[in-house]
Amino acid sequence: LDALLRERAGEGVPVIGLCLGMQLLFDGSTEHEGAAGLGLLPGAVARLDPHGLKLPHIGWNAVTWRRPSPLTEGLGDAAAFYHVHSYVAQPDDEDDVLGTGAYGAPFVSFVQRGHVFGAQCHPEKSSTAGLRVLANFVGVCAATRAAVR
């Protein structure tokens, strides 16, 4: 499956990773030493430093957008999403960061590089904001499909 995902992403097919799926988009993780990711986004995944707060981080966080994206269209300046995690992405390229949340310290919540998207949150549990993200991704897929026909 990993080879197919890399191949399709390389062809410009939209890919989205949610929660652990976002973490798997990166090169690897410190959660299990030597565990390789898909390598679709340069960077690593490391344990969240909660600055004295309890892990795993479970709850709603406002996400602040750093740049526009078709994934976040219609969400306004900040929207709240439901998160459950103890690890966070650390992209090598800050331009890949779409939005950040905070739990003791800021963490990367949304990423995008080309047609590769990721959300640390659970959009399926994030009410209307989450449904908007999922609908926007479906729109990206439809637009991509229409462009290749």
Q: What is the pLDDT of residue 78?
A: 77
CATH class of the domain defined by 2-148: alpha beta
One digit per residue, the tens of pLDDT, for the chain of length 149 reads 899 999 999 999 999 999 999 999 999 998 888 789 999 999 999 999 888 999 999 999 999 999 999 999 999 887 999 999 999 999 999 999 999 999 999 999 999 999 999 999 999 999 999 999 999 999 999 999 888 76
* C-alpha distance across the termini of the chain, in Å: 25
Backbone angles phi, psi at 21, to 5 degrees: -60, -35
pTM given for the model: 0.94
Strand, coil or helix: what is 147?
helix
Q: What is the pLDDT of residue 149?
A: 64
Cα–Cα distance for residue pair 72/135, rounded to 1 Å: 10
User: What residue type is assigned to position 19 of the chain?
Assistant: C
In the chain, what is the greatest distance between 2 CA atoms, to the nearest angstrom?
53
Residue ranges of domains in the chain: 2-148
> Using an 8 Å Cβ cutoff, are 124 and 104 in contact?
no
Cα–Cα distance for residue pair 83/20, rounded to 1 Å: 11
Q: What is the pLDDT of residue 50?
A: 82
| Residues labelled catalytic | 19, 122, 124
For residue 31 the two structure tokens come to: 């959660």
